C-alpha cells in the first residue's frame, strides 16, 4: 500500500498547521423527541403546496449536493477537507509537487484508462475511452448533436402523439383527485386522513375489483408511507433514505396488482454502449448519467418472451440487451419508465439532465433495434422529496430530442396526495402493459423488415426478379422456403402475388424465428415459422421438395468463401427438379482503402472485410462474396453435381440515409447501418483473426459513416442471382 501512503502524505503536506484552521463550533445536541410537522387545514382537492424549506444544515455537515446526489460507485479515493481556508492554486501546486515520484494508483482503485495514446490501460481494454463532458444544465444540452430542448408541457402538449396526450390527460385527472379513493373504504380513509382533508363525491371510486380487506391493507401501508415521508422531511434525510423508506414502498404498493410491470433500483446501471449518449459539438460524449429506478415490462408475463428472446439472439455478444445498459437483470426486460429521485432541496435542473441523457441513450437504442418505430416518446418521473412529477422525452426522425415537463402526479406527505400518486402510477402501469408492450412486440419486426424494404426498393419493390417468376407464382400447390426469413414478412408479402395462395405451403426458417415457432403472432396467414441454423444440414425429408428457395442478406457475413459455398449447396439440395433459387445481397465497396478519395461509407465497408486475395479469403470474412454471386452459385451447383439453367444476375443501386426517398426510408437506412455495426462486432468477437482495424479507428469509421448517412446519404449496389435446377 505504498502508493496510498505516498498520496496521503502528499495531501497532508498541503494542509496548514492546525492553528491556522478555523475552529468549528460544537453542534448543539438534537432533542430526543421529534416534533411532527404542522399541516395546514386544507381541502383534498386543493393544489398541493411544496413543503416548507428545511432548516439549513450545520456548517460542519457535508455539502448538500454531496448528500443529494444519487449514490454512485466510488471511482477513486479523493481527500475531503472541510472549512479549510487555502489558496486553491497554491494547494494544487503543493499537492502536485509532493506527488512527484509517487507510484501510480493501481487499477483496482481507479480503473479509468488514461487518454494517452498507447497507454497500458487502453491497450488492455481494447477500447478507446472518449472524453466525457460533465453537463449540469439543460441549456448546455442545446449544443449536443441531438439538439436537446426543454419545452413546457402545459403549453406544448399538443405536439405529442395522440396516445401520449391521452396518457397525459388521464394522469391530470388522477392528480385532480378524480375517482382515487374506493367508496368501500371512504369512512376509513376519512378517519386516517384527518379532519384537514375532506372527501368530495368526485374523489370516490364506486367500482373496485379488490376486496375490502385488500383495500384496507393498502390504506394502512399508505399511512406508513406518509409517516415515513414526514420523518424524512423532519430529519433532512439524504436521498438513499428517501429511496428505501418512501419511494420504493410507494412503487411496490402501486405496482403489486400489475404482475407484468416491475421496478428495479438501477443506481449502478451505466449507459452501454457509450456512444448511445449524446455528443457535444466538440465530439466529446456527454458524461453518462444514471437514474434511480427503472419501471420495466416483464416479457414472460406480458406474452412477448419469444419476441425478446429472438431479438437478443440476433445481437452481438457484448450488446445482448434490449435496453441502453448491460445491467444483468434488465437485459431482457424492456425499460418503459425511468425515475430520478432527489431530496426536496436538491437541484431540479440536474435531475432533468440526468433523465434526458439516460432517455436519449434509451431512445437511440430503440431506434437501433426497431427502424421506423413510431413510438419514440417515453414517460419520465422526477421525484423531489415527497412530490412526484411526470415528464416526456421525445425523439424526432432526425434524432433531435425534446424534454416536456412537468405535470404534478401527487405526493406522499398526505393520504390524499398518496392516493393521487397511486392512481397516477397505476395509469402509467396500464400504459406499460398495453401501449408500450405493443411497441416492444413490434420493434424487432420493424428492424427485420427494414432489410427487406431497402433491398426490394432497389428492384422497384419486386420480391422476385428472375424471368419467369410470374409463371411460377401462377402454379397451384407451391412450396416456397425463405431462409433467414425471421418473422415471415417476405413470404407474407409474396403470398399476395400467388394465384392459388390457399394451396401453397410457405416456410420461413431462421436460427431465431420471430416471434416463435407457432407463427400465431405477427405472421401472415399461410406462413409457417421453423427454427433452423442454415450452417447445419436441413431435415432430410425436405430435400427435393421446394419449388422456390429464397435467401436475402446472409452472404455478407459468412466467415469464409467455403462456408458460403457449403451453405448455398445445402439450399440447392432442397429444390425439386425445375425448382428455382434466388439469392439477394448487398454488394458494398471492397478492396484497399483509398484515404484521399474514398467517401466515409467506402472506408467503412472496406474496413469490415479484406481485399479479395486467396490468403485473405482463407483467413476470414470475404466481402467480395456478394460481388461474386454467379461464381458462388455455379460452384455450389458443381458441388451438387448439376448445372443450373436460366441463370442470371441483376445489380441495382439501393439508396441509404439522406439519399433515400422519404423520411421513413431514410431512417431505415440509418438503423440498418447501426445493425451492421453490431453484427460486425459480433463477428469479430467470434473470428478475431479477420479484424483489420483497431478500436479507435473503428469508432471513427462508424461515426463518419453515420454522419454521412444523416447529412447526404449514399448508394450501395444490391445484387440478385438466380438459377433453375434442371428437370430430371
The candidate with the shortest Cα–Cα distance to 411, out of 650, 583, 230, is 230
Q: pLDDT tens across 306-360, in order?
A: 778 877 876 666 678 889 998 989 999 999 999 999 999 999 998 998 999 999 9
Helix (H, G, I), strand (E, B) or coil at 393: strand
Annotated domain spans of the chain: 1-15+79-106, 138-439
CA distance 348 to 68: 11
For residues 238, 243, 247 and 249, what is the CA-based torsion angle, rounded to 10 degrees? -130
Grid cell for residue 720: 440478385
- Most confident option among 273-287, 325-339, 379-393: 379-393
Mean pLDDT of 622-639: 86
pLDDT at 515 over 80: no
pLDDT at 367 over 80: no
Residue-level pLDDT at 215: 96
CA distance 195 to 217: 21
Query: Bigger pLDDT: 274 or 646?
Result: 646
Mean pLDDT of 260-278: 86
Residue-level pLDDT at 90: 42
Helix (H, G, I), strand (E, B) or coil at 58: coil
pTM, whole model, 2 decimals? Answer: 0.55
Residue-level pLDDT at 372: 52
Three-state helix/strand/coil letters over 78-114: CCCCCCCCCCHHHHHHHHHHHHCCCCCCCCCCCCCCC
The candidate with the shortest Cα–Cα distance to 667, out of 513, 453, 466, is 453
In percent, the amount of the chain with pLDDT more than 90 equals 44
Q: pLDDT tens across 24-60, in order?
A: 444 444 444 334 333 334 444 444 444 444 444 343 4
- Host H or E run for residue 378: strand 377-384
Mean pLDDT of 612-623: 46
User: What phi, psi does 409 have (nearest 5°)?
Assistant: -110, -20
Residue-level pLDDT at 316: 64
Sign of the CA dihedral running 197, 202, 208, 212: positive
Mean pLDDT of 370-384: 79
Mean pLDDT of 239-267: 96
pLDDT-derived band at 98 (thresholds 50, 70, 90) equals very low
314: CB partners within 8 A, 6+ apart = 444, 512
Rounded to the nearest integer, the mean pLDDT of the chain is: 78
pLDDT-derived band at 545 (thresholds 50, 70, 90) equals very high
Q: Which residues of 318-338 are buried (b: 16+ CB within 10 A; e: fewer)?
A: ebbbbbbbbbeebbbbbbbbb
CA distance 285 to 339: 22
Residue-level pLDDT at 681: 77
pLDDT at 437 over 60: yes
CA distance 725 to 253: 65
pLDDT at 131 over 50: no
CA distance 463 to 48: 61
Q: pLDDT tens across 412-422, in order?
A: 999 999 999 99
For residues 527, 533, 534 and 539, what is the CA-based torsion angle, rounded to 10 degrees? -70
Q: pLDDT tens across 6-32, in order?
A: 333 443 343 444 444 444 444 444 444
Mean pLDDT of 67-73: 47
pLDDT at 1 over 50: no
Residue-level pLDDT at 91: 40
Instruction: Quote the distance between the C-alpha of residue 612 and its chain's center.
Output: 37
Instruction: Give the lowest-confidence range in 137-151, 482-496, 622-636, 677-691.
Output: 137-151
pLDDT-derived band at 455 (thresholds 50, 70, 90) equals confident
pLDDT-derived band at 76 (thresholds 50, 70, 90) equals very low
Helix (H, G, I), strand (E, B) or coil at 634: helix
Residue-level pLDDT at 27: 46
Q: pLDDT tens across 569-601, in order?
A: 999 999 999 999 999 998 888 888 899 999 999
pLDDT at 482 over 70: yes
Amino acid at each position: 500500500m505504498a502508493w496510498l501512503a505516498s498520496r496521503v502524505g502528499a495531501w497532508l503536506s498541503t494542509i496548514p498547521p492546525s492553528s491556522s484552521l478555523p475552529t468549528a463550533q460544537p453542534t448543539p445536541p438534537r432533542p430526543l423527541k421529534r416534533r411532527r410537522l404542522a399541516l395546514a387545514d386544507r381541502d383534498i382537492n386543493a393544489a398541493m403546496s411544496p413543503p416548507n424549506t428545511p432548516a439549513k444544515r450545520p456548517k460542519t455537515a457535508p455539502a448538500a449536493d454531496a448528500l443529494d446526489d444519487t449514490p454512485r460507485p466510488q471511482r477513486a479515493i479523493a481527500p475531503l477537507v472541510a472549512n479549510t481556508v487555502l489558496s486553491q492554486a497554491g494547494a494544487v501546486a503543493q499537492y502536485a509537487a509532493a506527488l512527484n515520484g509517487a507510484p501510480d494508483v493501481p487499477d483496482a482503485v481507479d480503473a479509468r484508462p488514461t487518454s494517452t495514446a498507447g497507454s497500458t490501460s487502453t491497450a488492455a481494454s481494447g477500447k478507446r475511452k472518449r472524453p466525457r463532458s460533465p453537463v449540469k444544465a439543460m441549456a448546455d444540452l442545446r449544443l449536443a448533436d441531438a439538439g436537446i430542448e426543454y419545452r413546457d408541457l402545459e403549453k406544448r402538449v399538443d405536439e405529442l402523439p395522440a396516445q401520449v396526450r391521452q396518457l397525459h390527460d388521464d394522469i391530470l385527472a388522477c392528480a385532480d383527485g378524480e375517482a382515487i379513493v374506493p367508496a368501500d373504504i371512504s369512512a376509513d380513509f376519512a378517519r386516517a386522513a384527518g379532519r384537514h382533508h375532506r372527501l368530495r363525491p368526485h374523489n370516490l371510486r364506486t367500482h373496485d375489483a379488490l376486496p375490502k380487506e385488500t383495500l384496507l391493507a393498502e390504506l394502512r401501508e399508505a399511512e406508513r408511507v406518509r409517516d415515513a415521508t414526514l420523518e424524512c422531511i423532519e430529519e433532512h434525510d439524504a436521498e438513499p433514505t428517501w429511496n428505501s423508506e418512501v419511494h420504493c414502498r410507494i412503487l411496490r404498493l402501486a405496482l403489486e396488482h400489475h404482475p407484468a410491470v416491475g421496478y428495479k433500483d438501477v443506481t449502478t446501471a451505466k449507459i452501454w454502449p457509450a456512444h448511445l449518449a449524446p455528443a457535444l459539438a466538440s465530439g466529446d460524449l456527454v458524461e453518462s448519467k444514471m437514474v434511480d429506478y427503472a419501471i420495466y415490462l416483464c416479457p414472460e408475463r406480458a406474452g412477448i418472451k419469444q419476441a425478446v428472446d429472438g431479438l437478443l439472439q440476433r445481437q452481438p455478444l457484448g450488446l445482448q440487451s434490449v435496453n441502453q445498459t448491460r445491467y444483468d437483470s434488465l437485459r431482457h426486460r424492456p425499460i418503459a419508465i425511468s425515475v430520478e429521485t432527489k431530496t426536496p432541496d436538491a437541484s431540479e435542473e440536474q435531475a432533468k439532465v440526468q433523465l434526458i441523457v439516460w432517455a436519449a441513450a434509451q431512445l437511440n437504442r430503440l431506434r437501433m433495434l426497431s427502424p421506423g418505430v413510431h413510438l419514440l416518446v417515453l414517460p419520465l418521473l422526477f421525484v423531489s422529496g415527497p412530490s412526484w412529477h411526470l415528464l416526456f422525452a421525445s425523439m424526432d426522425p432526425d434524432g433531435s430530442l425534446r424534454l416536456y415537463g412537468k405535470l404534478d402526479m401527487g405526493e406522499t406527505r398526505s393520504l390524499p396526495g398518496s392516493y393521487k400518486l397511486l392512481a397516477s402510477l397505476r395509469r402509467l402501469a396500464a400504459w406499460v402493459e398495453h401501449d408500450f408492450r405493443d411497441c416492444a412486440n413490434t420493434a424487432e419486426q420493424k428492424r427485420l423488415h427494414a432489410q427487406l424494404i431497402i433491398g426490394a426498393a432497389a428492384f422497384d419493390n419486386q420480391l422476385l426478379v428472375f424471368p419467369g417468376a410470374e409463371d411460377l407464382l401462377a402454379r397451384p400447390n407451391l412450396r416456397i422456403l425463405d431462409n433467414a426469413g425471421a418473422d415471415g414478412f417476405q413470404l407474407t408479402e409474396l403470398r399476395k402475388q400467388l394465384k392459388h395462395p390457399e394451396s401453397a405451403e410457405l416456410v420461413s426458417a431462421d436460427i431465431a424465428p420471430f416471434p416463435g415457432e407457432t407463427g400465431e403472432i405477427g405472421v401472415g396467414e399461410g406462413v409457417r415459422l421453423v427454427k433452423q441454423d442454415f450452417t447445419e444440414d436441413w431435415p432430410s425429408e425436405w430435400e427435393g421438395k421446394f419449388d422456390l428457395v429464397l435467401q436475402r442478406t446472409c452472404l455478407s457475413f459468412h466467415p469464409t468463401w467455403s462456408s458460403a459455398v457449403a451453405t448455398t449447396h445445402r439450399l440447392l439440395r432442397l429444390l425439386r427438379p425445375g425448382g428455382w433459387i434466388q439469392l439477394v445481397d448487398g454488394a458494398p465497396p471492397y478492396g484497399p482503402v483509398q484515404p484521399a478519395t474514398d467517401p466515409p461509407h467506402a472506408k467503412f465497408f472496406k474496413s469490415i472485410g479484406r481485399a479479395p486475395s486467396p490468403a485473405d479469403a482463407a483467413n476470414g470474412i470475404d466481402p467480395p462474396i456478394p460481388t461474386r454471386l454467379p461464381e458462388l452459385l455455379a460452384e455450389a451447383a458443381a458441388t451438387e453435381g448439376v448445372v443450373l439453367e436460366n441463370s442470371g444476375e441483376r445489380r441495382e443501386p439501393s439508396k441509404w440515409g439522406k439519399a433515400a426517398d422519404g423520411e421513413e426510408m431514410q431512417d431505415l437506412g440509418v438503423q440498418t447501418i447501426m445493425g451492421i455495426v453490431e453484427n460486425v462486432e459480433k463477428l469479430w468477437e467470434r473470428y478475431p483473426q479477420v479484424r483489420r482495424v483497431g478500436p479507435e479507428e473503428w469508432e471513427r469509421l462508424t461515426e463518419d459513416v453515420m454522419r454521412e448517412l444523416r447529412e447526404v446519404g449514399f448508394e450501395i449496389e444490391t445484387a440478385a442471382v438466380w438459377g433453375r435446377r434442371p428437370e430430371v
